[in-house]
Amino acid sequence: MNKVRLSCLVLGLLALAGCGKKEEEKKAGPAGTPVSVVQAEQRTVEQIEESVGTLDSPADPVIAAEVAGKVLSLKVMEGAEIKAGQVLAEMDAQDTGLVRQSAQAEVRRMEGVSANETRRLERMKKLREQGFISQAGLDDVAAQATSAQNQLASAKAQLALAERNVGKTHIVSPLDGRLERQFVVPGQYLKVGDPAFRVVYMKKLRARLPFPEEMAGRIQPGMEVHVSSPGVAGVQNGKIDEVRPMSGATNRSFDAFAVFDNPGWKPGATVTGAVVLGRHANAVVVPELSVVLRPAGKVVYVLAGDKVAQRVVQTGAKQSDGTLEIVSGLKAGETVVVDGAGFLTDQAPVAVSHQEPAGKPATPAAASAVAPASAVAAPVSAVPAAAKK
């Protein structure tokens, strides 16, 4: 009997202790949701239009043989970096050398003929002054001297052409770049016009960005473009230098071409181009992760003590650094929730675990540590029960 009473007494004490603990928790209130916050920043933002396109080179000529002959040797292999004027291959120069020798001999012959006709003309002039020959005879000699001079000029032109053809037996690069393709091998006979190499200009690149028809009046040559490539750090700035319509039976789109200095990228890569349509001064911006969807629309949660206040906002241009322009509903300097915003409701208690520096957007990795991606844009009905309390 005593053991039964003792057991009942212990149970009663435990029940009283439990009730006391619940009463303390009730007085203390629910624990705040851990969040990170950042201050809304005021700065100039860009209104941009993005497009995913490809890179190519503004110049990629195919170098062809300018004289006929056999390829003796290759001086550069595919993929090599080359300079303008660098020899890429040597061709057999024997035939062109013989043509040059023939042209040189013809020049020497015509120099003798021309000199002889010039001396003859001088003699005929003196005879004419003395009256020994007629004016018609003098005119005939003068015509022969002029003809000899013209033939000498023609022979010299033929020699210059032969000299030039000898130089063309060295196939050279017309520009700085990279040897993209080799079409010939040693021993191959080339005719005039046969392709030998393809060289790609590498100092500058051109981004080809497709846009829909409705953007045709808004994107113009001279506009600034920010070009980025997946997996490559950095953004390159260029300008639209050409807008080319691509209209067809089923297509009304157009391509915009932007040229920029090459930071080491390669033609053929996929890029994202952001064309700057305009700029807004003194705009309020917050990290894109701080804006969530609710039945009331797009909202941010402004920190007010140990709670948050839901604020309906109107958004504007999205920025390339992960921030979003707030057109109305928020002022610069107000503190908004970033990580954990998807778990909150109006007047929900929060516990600030980290404050991001002003102007630095939260990273996706940090956001996922607090709120899953599906919760960021979740409506109120999808918020966990603990947050609704």
Give per-residue pLDDT as tens, 21-33: 555 545 455 678 8
- What letter represents residue 13's amino acid? L
Predicted confidence (pLDDT) at residue 13 exceeds the cutoff of 60 = no
Question: Rounded distance, CA 9 to CA 7, Å?
Answer: 5
Answer whether residue 380 shows pLDDT above 50: no
The upper half-sphere exposure of residue 16, i.e. CA atoms within 13 Å in the direction of its Cβ, equals: 6
When pLDDT is cut at 50, 70 and 90, the band that residue 374 belongs to is very low
The CA distance from 301 to 369, in Å, is 19
Tens of pLDDT, residue by residue over 45-56, are 888 888 999 999
Q: Backbone dihedral region of 224: left (phi > 0), alpha (psi from -120 to 50 degrees) or beta?
A: beta
CA–CA separation, 224 and 278 (whole Å): 10
In angstroms, the CA 135 to CA 331 distance is 104
Q: How confident is the model at residue 344 (pLDDT cuts 50, 70, 90)?
A: very high
Check whether 358 has a pLDDT greater than 90.
Answer: no
Task: Give the mean pLDDT of the chain.
Answer: 84
pLDDT at 388: 39
Q: pTM for this structure?
A: 0.57
Residues 50, 136 contacting (CB under 8 angstroms): no
> Is the pLDDT score of 82 beyond 90?
yes
366, exposed or middle or buried, with CB in 10 Å at 0-12, 13-18, 19+? Answer: middle
Q: How many CA atoms lie within 13 A of 339 on its CB side?
A: 19
Give me the pLDDT at residue 386, please: 38
Q: Under DSSP, is residue 1 helix (H, G, I), strand (E, B) or coil?
A: coil
The amino acid occupying position 226 is H
| Average pLDDT value for residue range 149-178 | 94
Q: Rounded to an integer, what distance in angstroms lies between the CA atom of residue 65 and that of residue 92? A: 12
Question: What is the average per-residue pLDDT within 323-335?
Answer: 92
pLDDT band at 375 (very low <50, low <70, confident <90, very high): very low
The structural domains of the chain, ordered by start, are 33-45+281-388 (2.40.420.20), 50-59+201-279 (2.40.30.170), 66-91+169-200 (2.40.50.100), 93-167 (1.10.287)
User: Would you give the distance in Å from CA 196 to the centre of its chain?
Assistant: 29
CA 9 to chain CA centroid, Å, is: 80
Q: For residue 320, is pLDDT > 80?
A: no
